[in-house]
Amino acid sequence: MRDKAVEKGIYFMNGDHACCEGAIAAGCRFFAGYPITPATEVAERMSIRLPQVGGIYIQMEDEIASMAAILGASWGGVKAMTSTSGPGFSLMMENIGLGVCTETPCVICNVQRAGPSTGLPTNVAQGDMMQARWGSHGHYEIIALSPSSPQEMFDMTILAFNLSEEYRIPVLIMADEVVGHMNERVVIPDIEEIEIVNRAKPHAPPEGYLPYRPGPNGVPILPNCGDGYRIHVTGLTHDERGYPVMTADAQAQMVEHLVNKIVLNREKIIKTTSFYLDDAEVVVISYGITFRSARSAVEQIREAGVRAGLLKLDTVWPFPEELVRSLARNVKALVVAEINLGQMVREVERCAAGRCRVHLVPHHGGAVIRPERIIEGIRAALKRKRNR
Amino acid sequence: MKKRERRIFFTGFGGQGIVMAGDILGRASAIYDGKHATMTQNYGPEARGGACSSQVIISDEEILYPYVDRPEILICMSQEGYTKHVKNLVDDGTLIWDEDLVRPGKGNKSWNILRVPATRIAEEMGHKMMANIVMLGFLTAVTGVASADAVRQAIKDSVPPATVEANMKAFERGMEYGQAVLKSRSKGNG
């Protein structure tokens, strides 16, 4: 079973399929989902691959149930995931919140397409970035990653599982139609070269054990169902025993804990990739498929003598606040390129806090931003006198 | 040195294997020719019959922007695809069409224009659905955009095992047709 899980080799593979291979390599053995363009290929391949490694694939009646099923599977002790696109992502929101509140490790891959509503099912967008952050009700933290190629779909799906197991939280892979449907070379390494994180298991005696008490890194050490511990799993505000407590104090303690286990570990969680930041007078900030256009734009404009740098957000949530704040102190302008009319740019503006110009290169969705538009954006940002 | 990128655009309708043709060409380049290759696809919400395209970039270096906005090789397997995309072909580009499916308009004089009855050849071989493979054989012969051996390997990887032999024959027929066209041209010029 094990060698079937990591089929080492060099492939020409689309991003959706690479996501599946990453998931199975990371130890995912349960998938519940409802097919939707452009994420159908994830479900399709999982339905073929999971039975080969002793896993379970279930096609659910909808995305609400899909999300519920992976939470249940995770409590059963299995690494679990689902995949979807915009309309399904909206339906998953309530149960993503349940996963956050119950501290349930799981992975959700959103292959973004253009919305709102049914929108452009077969075309690209990055319009769900703020929904990823705030789509479920209440105040919470979340982890979201943004892959820019099929290889990164493989690598980041492994990372998503590792983060979800370590911090006991749903982790979102915010992919997009182009990355999902694009075929490129994908190198699947030897199983020995893949770092896998598995959730910590309790060793304390069941008597007097407090399942929801935060462990050393702020994350509770929870048993799986059937491990011999008494465990109560609820979306109601609960105490360290896991039992509902309907008071403002309990609410403060629980929400503080859910937020802090991510915020206080953010340096370990956040990953970014930098290009030419040392001498940059203007820095482009981008993520996912748009990063590739941004990189092309930065390489071209540097040849023309403009000292441009590039920051790629591998992790989009939590947002790299400290880094963007320090960039804002040292550059004339930050340029944000994204396939929406301004979502992550709000975070950049918040962190820049007026210390430098912030210029948006937006796109309504349906196509990838052309590098020329980002070059124009860099030039416009450098020329602009005041902030928008 | 300016980096060398080849930009190829396949267009047709759903069910013709347009995306598969792009996938095979990209696979041949990325795995067997040792290049970088990116294949993207475009189609509508319909499963079959709607317009679709696949775009392949082959390069010695990492590929960034993934779309082919201005192809240097345009392969048309439907009238709609031809009409929609022919204006994007670069000067000195190569225009290839299936002669039974496309009635071309006025072209650009700088274009290298080639036509092939890919669907008819595939039908004569008893496998209409292999028109895309005949077209790949023709493309390989007339442009050399990927090596023939690499494309053969990629076809073997991509088609159902029971159809490998028939697909290889379809590829060779396309190659032969392309080589014959090149030969008759060089005679015509000499």
For residues A60 and A69, the answer to whether their CB atoms sit within 8 Å is: yes
Is the alpha carbon torsion for A147, A151, A157, A159 positive or negative? Answer: negative
**B120: its two tokens:** 């008819």
Q: Do A367 and B38 touch (CB under 8 A)?
A: no
DSSP state of B16: S
User: Domain A272-383, what fold?
Assistant: Rossmann fold (3.40.50)
Of residues B64, B92, B76, B89, the one with CA closest to residue B5: B64
**DSSP assignment string, B91-126:** TT-EEEEETTT-------TTSEEEEE-HHHHHHHTT
- CATH number of the domain enclosing B179: 3.40.920.10
Q: Do B39 and A182 touch (CB under 8 A)?
A: yes
pLDDT per residue as tens digits for the range B77-126: 999 999 999 999 999 999 999 999 999 998 899 999 999 999 999 999 99
A2-193: CATH, from 1.10.150.120, 3.40.50.720, 3.90.1150.10, 3.40.50.970 = 3.40.50.970
- Coil, helix or strand at residue B185: helix
Interface test with A, best of B32, B35, B40 (most A CBs within 10 A): B40
| Minimum CA–CA partner of A293 in chain B | B65
Each residue's pLDDT expressed in tens, for chain B with a length of 190 residues: 456 899 999 999 988 999 999 999 999 999 999 999 999 998 876 666 788 999 999 999 999 999 999 999 999 999 999 999 999 999 999 999 999 999 999 889 999 999 999 999 999 999 999 999 999 999 999 999 999 999 999 999 999 999 999 999 999 999 999 999 999 988 876 4
Domain count, chain B: 1
Give residue B64's domain range. Answer: 5-189
Q: Beta-carbon neighbour count of residue A98 at 10 Å? A: 18
Provide the angle, in degrees to the nearest 10, between the axes of the packed helices B18-27 and B131-143: 40
Measured between beta carbons, the chain A residues lying within 8 angstroms of B33 are none
CB pairs under 8 A between A and B: 61
pLDDT per residue as tens digits for the range A133-164: 999 999 999 999 999 999 999 999 999 999 99
pLDDT (mean) for A216-240: 95
* Residues linked to residue A110 through DSSP beta bridges, in sequence order: A84, A174
> Between B27, B42, B66, which is nearest A292 by CB?
B66
ipTM of model:
0.92
One fold for A2-193 and A272-383: yes
Q: Do A122 and B44 touch (CB under 8 A)?
A: yes
Measured between beta carbons, the chain B residues lying within 8 angstroms of A289 are 66
For residues A313 and A285, the answer to whether their CB atoms sit within 8 Å is: yes
> Between B37, B39, B64, which is nearest A293 by CB?
B64
> Between B27, B45, B64, which is nearest A296 by CB?
B64
Q: Do B27 and A183 touch (CB under 8 A)?
A: yes
Distance between CA atoms of residues B124 and A327, nearest Å: 65
Quick one: which H or E segment has residue A82?
strand A79-84
pLDDT per residue as tens digits for the range A106-122: 999 999 999 999 999 99
Peptide bond into A318 cis (omega under 30): yes
For chain A, the farthest-separated pair of C-alpha atoms sits apart, in whole angstroms, at: 69
- Coil, helix or strand at residue A29: strand
Interface test with B, best of A183, A289, A374 (most B CBs within 10 A): A183
Distance between CA atoms of residues A37 and A119, nearest Å: 11
Q: Is A122 on the interface with B (CB under 8 A)?
A: yes
C-alpha distances out from residue A23 to A29, A111, A203, B3, B156, Å: 8, 15, 28, 35, 27
> Between A184, A295, A367, which is nearest B30 by CB?
A184
**Which residue shows structure tokens 């990887």?**
B157
Q: Please report, for chain A, the start and end positions of each structural domain, with discontinuous segments joined by +.
A: 2-193, 272-383
**A40: its two tokens:** 């159908």
Strands of B2-82, DSSP E: 5-13, 36-43, 51-59, 73-76
